[in-house]
């Protein structure tokens, strides 16, 4: 068997804050209510996505890595991560706000959870009028003041809120307090981790359990970055048919790629797999004389062994992701 451009069967996850946009806006096929997350490419234990079509249909990421190693991941990526796929790729629909939360870094996550840390980024695909995100603190507080605000239900008063529109992008390093607000649909790129420390959850009860969700205040205090920063949003250019630098971190690199007409891509100098997330429009990818169609809300992975492809679209927007 040989490698080819791969699409995976998404996993749809119930969330008490989930809505219907993954179905109505992105055309996802599911019947459950309150689906908040579509896990597009996942190597999280018990939540592993499988190849959708072709000779490798049904293969998980671990099976692909075991069989193809550096040919699939890129040799440098394989040398670093071995059989573990380093990224988790999602689309998220927040009908109501997510919990206010924070993620641990690699060292803490490894020690406590035998997991990667969770550095992540958001790319806003759609936002209702006045929809906002919470990201970072608006004013400097201490851990004891944090506890007082939580006890008094005033924590939202000291958090930085940012109204968002389509195309806004944010990097959320580990330690940064954050929450997606209601009315926001976005693409999320993160390390492979499912570790979240909830700080505040609006005293909500989950209708599926009849219980409030657990909070993790003590763990959160140990990893929170209490600094206040001048800006949280990432500025970037949108030059057509060019890989515009979006967010480059030690954990992943992302570019904004607007395709108009035909674009030839050459990855011969890149020792990594490449993931395309289509965040608007639709595009055709040609490799070895075969056409792969990608529309808004779909994701495709190019194994590292594929170096030359062609993209064609009247107008589409992609996130280009690699290590």
Instruction: Verify whether residue 198 is a known catalytic residue.
Output: yes
What is the C-alpha R_g of the chain?
Answer: 20
Rounded Cα–Cα distance for residues 91 and 46 (Å): 19
Do 293 and 107 meet the contact criterion of CB atoms below 8 Å apart?
A: no
d(CA 18, CA 97): 9
Binding-site annotation, residues: 103, 120, 178
Catalytic residue among 15, 112, 198, 213, which?
Answer: 198
Please list, in sequence order, all residues whose beta carbon lies within 8 angstroms of the beta carbon of residue 259, skipping any fewer than 6 positions away.
Answer: 240, 241, 281, 283, 311, 312, 313, 315, 316, 317, 318
| Binding site feature residues for Zn(2+) | 103, 120, 178
- Write the DSSP symbol of residue 185: E
**CA 10 to CA 41: how far, in whole Å?**
7
- CA–CA dist 48, 31 (Å, integer): 20
Return the closest-CA partner of residue 89 out of 47, 126, 131: 47
Q: Which two tokens stand for residue 124?
A: 């806003």
Q: How big is the CA angle at 57 (ends 82 and 9), to the nearest 5 degrees?
A: 85
The distance from CA 188 to its chain's CA centroid, rounded to whole angstroms, is 2
- Contact residues for 208 (Cβ-Cβ < 8 A; gap 6+): 14, 16
CA distances from 124 to 92, 163, 185, 201, 316 (A): 10, 11, 6, 22, 15
Please give the structure tokens belonging to residue 139: 């004013």
Residues marked as catalytic: 198
């Amino acid at each position: 068997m040989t490698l080819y451009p791969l699409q995976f069967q998404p996993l749809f996850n119930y969330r008490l804050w989930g809505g219907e946009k993954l179905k109505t806006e992105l055309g996802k096929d599911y019947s459950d209510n309150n689906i908040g997350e579509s896990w597009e490419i996942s190597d999280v234990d018990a939540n592993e996505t499988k190849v959708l079509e072709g000779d490798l249909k049904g293969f998980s990421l671990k099976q692909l890595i075991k069989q193809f190693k550096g040919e699939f991941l890129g040799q440098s990526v394989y040398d670093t991560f071995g059989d573990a796929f380093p990224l988790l790729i999602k689309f998220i629909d927040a009908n109501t706000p997510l919990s206010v939360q924070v993620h641990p870094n690699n060292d803490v996550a490894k020690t406590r959870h035998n997991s990667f840390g969770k550095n992540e980024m958001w790319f806003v695909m759609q936002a209702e009028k006045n929809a906002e995100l919470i990201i970072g603190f608006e004013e400097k507080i201490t851990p004891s003041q944090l506890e007082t605000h939580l006890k008094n239900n005033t924590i939202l008063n000291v958090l930085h809120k940012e109204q968002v529109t389509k195309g806004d992008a944010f990097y959320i390093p580990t330690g940064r307090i954050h929450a997606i607000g209601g009315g926001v649909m976005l693409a999320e790129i993160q390390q492979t981790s499912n570790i979240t420390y909830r700080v505040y959850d609006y005293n909500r009860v989950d209708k599926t359990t009849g219980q409030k969700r657990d909070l993790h205040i003590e763990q959160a205090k140990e990893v929170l970055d209490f600094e206040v920063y001048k800006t949280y949003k990432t500025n970037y250019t949108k030059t057509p048919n060019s890989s515009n630098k979006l967010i480059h971190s030690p954990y992943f690199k992302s570019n904004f790629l607007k395709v108009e007409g035909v674009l030839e891509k050459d990855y011969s100098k890149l020792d990594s797999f490449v993931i395309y997330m289509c965040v608007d429009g639709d595009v055709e990818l040609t490799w070895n004389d075969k056409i792969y169609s990608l529309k808004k809300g779909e994701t495709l992975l190019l194994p590292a062994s594929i170096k030359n492809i062609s993209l064609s679209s009247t107008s589409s927007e992609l996130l280009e992701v690699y290590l």
